[in-house]
Amino acid sequence: MFELEGFIIIAVVVGLSILLNRMRNRVSRQYIKQILRHLPSDHYEVLTNVPLKEGTADHVVLSVYGVFVIDQQNDTGKVTGSLKDENWTQHYKKRTKQVPNPLSKTKAQAETIQKHLNLKSKHIFPIVAFSNATTINVDKSLIDTYQVVNYDGVIDAIQAKQTPQLSKEAVKKLTEKLNNLYVK
């Protein structure tokens, strides 16, 4: 009988863990959406959950200043890595784990969007946004160029680009194209 009780306890703990993780992801996604609403709507178009062959781009911001592809990382703790590392290290409490370099995924998504929208690479900017509870310990150049930020740094990363590169009409057309088509 104890074996059945033990199994039930483990199943409940695993179920609650999965539920908690999903809730945290949903709250984080809403938090970023709220942050992005602070961008002036006359200069920025915000899309969420854009389906791509590499998975879903969490957020895509289109503006006269370029197209920003944002990958949202919900983990907490400390993250270390560099641009060229295949894996980054996530430190949480006393545990460490290797995770795929999130910038590689975001760059691949940005390249897919770039090709789909027929843009030059200078018009598209990948950004990896980590939870505010994450300490980011990556190459300084990634932080200085706003490729890796905490959630509260997303607006600064986007607004760091101040040279218009696209017309407002082009931004509207690009937004419609991303909104209406599945990127293959």
Structural domain boundaries in the chain: 2-180
The pLDDT assigned to 156 comes to 94
Residues forming a β-bridge with 91: 78, 96
CB hemisphere CA count around 48 (13 angstroms): 12
pLDDT given for residue 21 in this prediction: 57
**Which fold does the domain 2-180 belong to in CATH?**
Trna Endonuclease; Chain: A, domain 1 (3.40.1350)
Calculate the CA 11 to chain-centre distance.
31
Q: 60-76 burial, b if ≥16 CB within 10 A, otherwise e?
A: bbbbbbbbbbbbbbbbb
- Per-position pLDDT tens, the chain of length 184: 567 776 677 766 666 666 665 555 555 567 788 899 999 988 999 999 898 887 889 999 999 999 999 999 988 899 999 989 999 999 988 899 999 999 999 999 999 999 999 999 999 999 999 999 999 999 898 888 889 999 999 999 999 999 999 999 999 999 999 887 655 4
Nearest by Cα to 156 from 133, 127, 135, 134: 127
Question: By C-alpha distance, which of 129, 28, 152 is closest to 79?
Answer: 129
135: Cα separation from own chain's centroid: 16
The predicted structure's pLDDT at residue 184: 47
**β-strands 95-100, 87-92 pairing:** antiparallel
94-114 burial, b at 16+ Cβ within 10 Å, e below that, comes to eeeeeeebbbbbbbbbbbbbb
Q: What pLDDT score was predicted for residue 4?
A: 72
